[in-house]
Structure 1
């Protein structure tokens, strides 16, 4: 089981199961709230806790790899991941469920980071971009199929069985990983592959002194903060506010997942046609959409239209900002390419934490239907940041052109 296709399927399956584990709370929010006798906003904070722990812990746990083989480290992380989901399935109190989600979050980030390192190692040059894009799509597929399926399982057999299903798929994935992934890859070798063409002048932290990186990191954070103010409460919005039956909600979550998958696909096209230069207009449209969500929720038709359009727009920044990070690192900070490749994931989870926490406060004090207002504020901040970043990029390119022109030999 060592062919490229087999290994690729295993890594995509890893992303899928990680996505299912992270997103499942959105699909079983009402069930947990009812059975554990806690408010829906309190359960919503599980999304905040997971994302925050994920973002903060990932760099530290990944750095602990040291000289261990990535194969062994990945399998150990997978065992912990399975244990965290087992604990979730058997959590009979809210505090125990919180602990289980913290355990799962701590290892989820390093699992996908090391998985992407394996992908970079096993893929031939012509297939690297293809495999990377499919691994990221694994999370979208989890949103399309995993969350609605988990919701259906929760409806039929209880929310604990949804976590049990994740455990079963995780065990299968771990066995396939053990049988297929290369066992001799170490971190120093992977890092050398990423930067062997050029040596940087400083360590990885030098990357964070670059204004283009500083501004870029905030974009995925405020983008998903804006979306998750509303998205965290998607299921109760569909069931309680719009009044859809449980079976219909499962179908609507599936459709929403398709919208988010389309968002990822459109993001790739956007990166090839203007990228960040087009994002100010997109953010402006998204802010208007979120401001209209409270009014849209007055009827089923307009409510669904608004929520689905939000799904189409929520991931459009992904490919443009990922290409921005890698371009800056390759040109000016080649010693930090590995770190640069992880920034989108890390700060997206900071945004998920910020947005879901904000949504919880709004739900507690103002009601679920006005969450769109809070989301619009964060999207307007993102719009201001991308305008600033585009100006910085333009100034940097102009300065670099001047330096190159001055360094060119004088013409006779």
Structure 2
């Protein structure tokens, strides 16, 4: 029998794993300029490193749960962290761009093992009435990554070097694996996802449209967010320091958004919260395009951007559970896959659009993707079994 103090230490250790994964996954966004200098790449080529990671995660996350989901969850996380750390080490040593791409694929494969099982592993350590607070502790690592980890990674990339940044991420991944092996018990059994369940969810119009909301919203956000560093440099005449500040603003506002959504969720449906926050994002895209080219205006828009997106993420998870309750585990795994596919696709769109149409083109592409998210939301609402029951 483990004491409350031991359980708390285990949950905090899992939170550290989430922090390391999030920083390793998203640090490329704030480091496009240093990556370009180190390997002689364009911003578009740097953004495709996000695409390689996101697409790999999207494809691997559900397939790994089909093939290896039966392994104990602690072992899945340990394996994922070791693969993730090896990918980061390869990035730090990469001599050429193709090796960089391979390193991001390896990191995406490791993350596909880590992300889908961390919350499940944390919730298995406590009684049913404490599972909500346990998951909140684990997810805190994600919020701290946005608040401090990603801005700090940008600063390290600019001031110390991007190779040193990914070497540090590699060391952190292996160190976290050792901590988990020490602090987290290996007693939570995994659950293999049936391939037939995935096929069913991916071939029904209702479930596909539910996942489509997650995909298009994420792609919309990351089409602009992936190029935040070049945007600050090229359109707002900002410095490397200003890039770090922009990421810090997003992180601080994001933590505030996490606190806000817990209050809103008790009063409003997931559909209402999604419609409201998606509308706010669409308005912000128009405001950024038409607004002044001043850093103060950009930071103000980023605050509202982060608040809106932090209402979207948990609301779409809640909506998936409401619409696909019968397939909750598989549906959440697929949602994570569609989200990371959206991240990768958004980065790819940004890499294609920015050199041709600049900041205005990015905002226009983001707006168009948001419209597609609304279309998917309308389709899923129309086909929802909840609506049929109400009728």
Same fold at TM > 0.5: yes
- Given the alignment of the two structures, is residue 222 of structure 1 paired with residue 213 of structure 2, yes or no? no
Give unpaired runs (5+ residues) of structure 2.
none
Equivalent runs, 1:14-25 vs 2, <5 Å: 14-25=17-28
Q: 1:345 is paired with a residue of what secondary structure?
A: helix
Q: What corresponds to 2:181 in structure 1?
A: 178
- Counterpart of 2:36 in 1: which secondary structure? helix
Higher mean C-alpha deviation, range 26-35 or range 336-345: 336-345
Corresponding position of 2:245 = 251
Change (3 A) 1:203 1:39: closer
3-state SS of 2:311 partner = coil
* Residues 87/397 of structure 1: CA separation in 2 closer, same or farther (3 Å cut): closer
How many angstroms does 1:163 deviate by?
1.0
Q: Report the Cα distance in structure 2 between the residues aligned to 1:398 and 1:75, rounded to whole angstroms.
A: 42
Question: 1:320 corresponds to which residue?
Answer: 315
Relative distance call for 1:270 and 1:350 in structure 2 (3 A) is: farther
Q: 1:21 aligns to what SS in structure 2?
A: helix
**Are 2:57 and 1:54 equivalent residues in the alignment?**
yes
- Of the candidates 255, 267, 284, which is equivalent to residue 261 of structure 1? 255
Using the size of structure 2 for normalisation, the TM-score is: 0.90
Distance 1:205 1:342 in 2: 13
Aligned residue among 129, 138, 144 for 2:132: 129
Moved more, 302-311 or 169-178: 302-311
**Secondary structure of 1:183's match?**
coil
1:187 counterpart = 2:190: yes
Q: What CA distance in whole angstroms lies between the structure 2 residues aligned with 1:344 and 1:203?
A: 14
Larger Rg: 1
CA distance in 2, matches of 1:41, 1:204: 33
How many Å separate the matches in 2 of 1:34 and 1:369?
25
Equivalent residue, structure 1, for 2:290: 295
Aligned to 2:368: 377
Of 375, 380, 387 in structure 2, the residue corresponding to residue 389 of structure 1 is 380
Provide the residue aligned with 1:284 in structure 2. Answer: 279
CA distance in 2, matches of 1:66, 1:224: 26
- On the 8 A contact 1:49/1:353 being kept in 2, the answer is yes
Deviation at 1:322, TM superposition (A): 1.4
Aligned to 1:311: 306
Using the size of structure 1 for normalisation, the TM-score is 0.86
C-alpha distance 46-56 of structure 1, shift in aligned 2 (>3 A)? same
Residue 4 of structure 1, aligned match among 3, 7, 11: 7
Greater shift, 108-117 or 66-75, is seen at: 66-75
CA distance in 1, matches of 2:189, 2:298: 50
**What is the CA deviation profile of residues 197-221 of structure 1, one whole-angstrom value per residue up to 9, with x for unaligned ones?**
xxx9x85644456554222111111
Alignment of 1:325-344 (within 5 A): 325-330=320-325, 333=326, 336-344=327-335
Q: Cα–Cα, structure 1 residues 299 and 206, in superposed 2: closer, same or farther, change >3 Å?
A: same
Mind listing any 5+ residue stretches in structure 1 that lack a counterpart? 192-199, 403-412
Asked if 1:94 corresponds to 2:89, the answer is no
Deviation digits for residues 137-187 of structure 1, max 9, x if unmatched?
Answer: 422321211111111212221111111221222222111110122224332
Determine if the alignment matches structure 1 residue 39 to structure 2 residue 42.
Answer: yes
Q: Residues 48-75 of structure 1, C-alpha deviation per residue, up to 9 Å, x if partnerless? A: 1111111111111222225443333432
Conserved 8 A contact 1:223-1:314 = no
- Displacement of 1:306 after TM fit? 2.4
**How much is the aligned-residue C-alpha RMSD, in angstroms?**
2.4
C-alpha separation between the residues in 1 aligned to 2:224 and 2:292?
12
My pick for the range that moved more, 229-238 or 239-248, is: 239-248
Give the Cα–Cα distance (whole angstroms) in 2 for the partners of residues 170 and 294 of structure 1. Answer: 39
Contact 1:74-1:111 at 8 Å conserved across structures: yes
1:368 aligns with 2:363: no
Number of residue pairs matched?
386
Structure 1 distance, partners of 2:324, 2:138, is: 21
Q: Separation in 1 of the partners of 2:310 and 2:58?
A: 18
